[in-house]
Amino acid sequence: MSLSLKQLLFNHNATDKQGSALNLRIDYDEAIVGPEWARAPNRPPFEQSIAYAARSIDPAMLGLFANFAFSGPPPQRLEIQAVPDRPRLSGADKRAAKFQALALTWAPINPSLAEYYSALALQLLEPVPLLGRIAPTPVAIAASGESGPVFLKLNGGVLKAAAVGIHEIAWRWQFRTGQNPHWQDFETSYHRIFTTLDLPVAPWIQEPAEVWNSALPWSQALELACDWSAGAMFQREVAASICGSIHAMGGRQIEYGCPVGAREMYANTPMGIFDLTAFIERSRNGLGNGPYVNCTDCACAVSTLANLLGVELWQGRMGEYDPAFLLRASQTIGHSSWGSPCGLGVGFMFHEVAWSGGCREEDQIYDASVVVDSNLTSYVHFPLPLLPAGIQFGAAWQPLYRQMLAAPGSLFICHPLPEERRRRALI
């Protein structure tokens, strides 16, 4: 007789995310259907993405549903449990080996440093307690040999306090019966879990959790956003990390679109959409919509990916359209020379950024498209480059983003347009 694990369902409640994983899909075109882990005969386990909004979790409610099958006569008493095991991470093994080698090298020279490297190696090889363990739970097996869905409570995990990230975890599943009270291993399951700070914010939604709803969070977008923001614990930290990572794509994957008239290539304002599919492809060194972007494209990318992790940003504009506002010397994304955008000296009719709150003077700017000069002194001037990632827009008289971007004579033309804030839909 033996016990087998058939299915695990982490997203078991589509409307309440205090104890359940998030409603996800893979990308714009492909939905996630069914349990996140399933085993079929003579095949490797089928695994799908899992994500949790860490700050929304109630540890007392956290759990999942499992299905078991028992071969042989059903036992009168059956209990199962699952304990954290070593994750399936070959990279961790390699990094641990390097730290162990460093520990051996430093042992005769600096024992304290050797002990530090040894501790790092052991930490990499430790089971990850993100979701904790499944305590001993009674399971009833029907005459058919199947258990049906069984709710398993999770405890002892650190999910509630987790930072943004991508986590590999493993559970070693064990059972015991009334006839044999010793725990017996019967399965090891491996899972890849995304952690966000909080529930996704528009344009992302959680309901309805239907296969046609393309606004459910995409696992492909989570892959990118969680990688860029790994370790972040606060909303401003997440937004700044994503803003910096998108700006770092400049010169390699994207650049300010002077050759195409600085027009939108990934956003489409008349249609109210942002082509996140193409942007993700470009971030992976694919074709996407090509290398050129403008401020609107960057604002959409920053706000969309940050909001996926529970931040609350908008795409906000500044300026008057006519007349344009002139700029101080700056560096557009993908370019290292100081000057005006595209070297034309005509300024911006408007400028669009990822913006917090009401997109007003007192709110924070995350501008991935332009590096500004933070040196506002008028004597012995030399530029101090600053990527505006979490700086207040400011009034015309304040030494903040507005003064760093706009020329002195254009400070009152470069004003917020809060009535135009938006969050474009995704394709």
Instruction: Give the rounded percent of residues in the chain with a pLDDT score beyond 70.
Output: 96
Residue range 24-37: mean pLDDT, rounded: 95
The string of pLDDT tens digits covering residues 229-279 is: 999 999 999 999 999 999 999 989 999 999 999 999 999 999 999 999 999
| In a shared domain, residues 110 and 11 | no
* Segments forming the whole domain that contains residue 116: 89-126
**223 occurs within a structural domain:** no
**215 occurs within a structural domain:** no
| In a shared domain, residues 188 and 68 | yes
| In a shared domain, residues 77 and 14 | yes
Enumerate the H helices of 284-384 as residue ranges: 295-308
Amino acid at 290: G
Residue range 179-198: mean pLDDT, rounded: 93
pTM listed for this prediction: 0.91
Amino acid at 421: R
The string of pLDDT tens digits covering residues 39-76 is: 988 788 999 999 999 999 999 999 999 999 988 887 88
Q: Looking at 304-313, 318-327, 351-360, 379-388, which range is the least confident one?
A: 379-388
State the pairing for strand pair 46-47/50-53. unpaired
Task: State the burial class of residue 132 (Cβ atoms within 10 Å of its Cβ: 0-12, 13-18, 19+).
Answer: buried
Instruction: Give the rounded percent of residues in the chain with a pLDDT score beyond 90.
Output: 78
Residue pair 292/356 in contact (Cβ under 8 Å)? The answer is no
Q: Which of 144, 166, 196 is the last residue of a domain?
A: 196
Q: Indicate whether 83 pLDDT > 80.
A: yes
Give the residue carrying structure tokens 């195409």. Answer: 260
| In a shared domain, residues 377 and 303 | yes
Average per-residue pLDDT for the chain: 93
pLDDT at 93: 65
The string of pLDDT tens digits covering residues 117-153 is: 888 777 766 666 899 999 999 999 888 888 999 999 9
**379 occurs within a structural domain:** yes
**Lookup: tokens for 203:** 């344009």
| In a shared domain, residues 168 and 257 | no
| In a shared domain, residues 163 and 311 | no
| In a shared domain, residues 240 and 355 | yes
**Lookup: tokens for 33:** 């259907």
Enumerate the H helices of 161-218 as residue ranges: none
**264 occurs within a structural domain:** yes
Residue pair 257/293 in contact (Cβ under 8 Å)? The answer is yes
Q: Indicate whether 209 pLDDT > 60.
A: yes
**402 occurs within a structural domain:** yes
Q: Confidence class of residue 377 from pLDDT cuts 50, 70 and 90?
A: confident
Q: Indicate whether 374 pLDDT > 80.
A: yes
The string of pLDDT tens digits covering residues 87-123 is: 876 556 666 777 788 888 888 888 888 888 888 777 7
pLDDT at 228: 96
The string of pLDDT tens digits covering residues 333-363 is: 999 899 888 888 889 999 999 999 999 999 9
Q: How many domains does the chain divide into? A: 3
Q: Indicate whether 31 pLDDT > 80.
A: yes
**Lookup: tokens for 121:** 């190696």
**203 occurs within a structural domain:** no
Q: Which of 196, 215, 245 is the last residue of a domain?
A: 196
CB neighbourhood size of 109 (10 A): 8
**26 occurs within a structural domain:** yes
Q: Which of 140, 166, 196 is the last residue of a domain?
A: 196
| In a shared domain, residues 345 and 249 | yes
pLDDT at 278: 98
| In a shared domain, residues 10 and 59 | yes
| In a shared domain, residues 266 and 390 | yes
| In a shared domain, residues 100 and 19 | no
**97 occurs within a structural domain:** yes
| In a shared domain, residues 170 and 253 | no
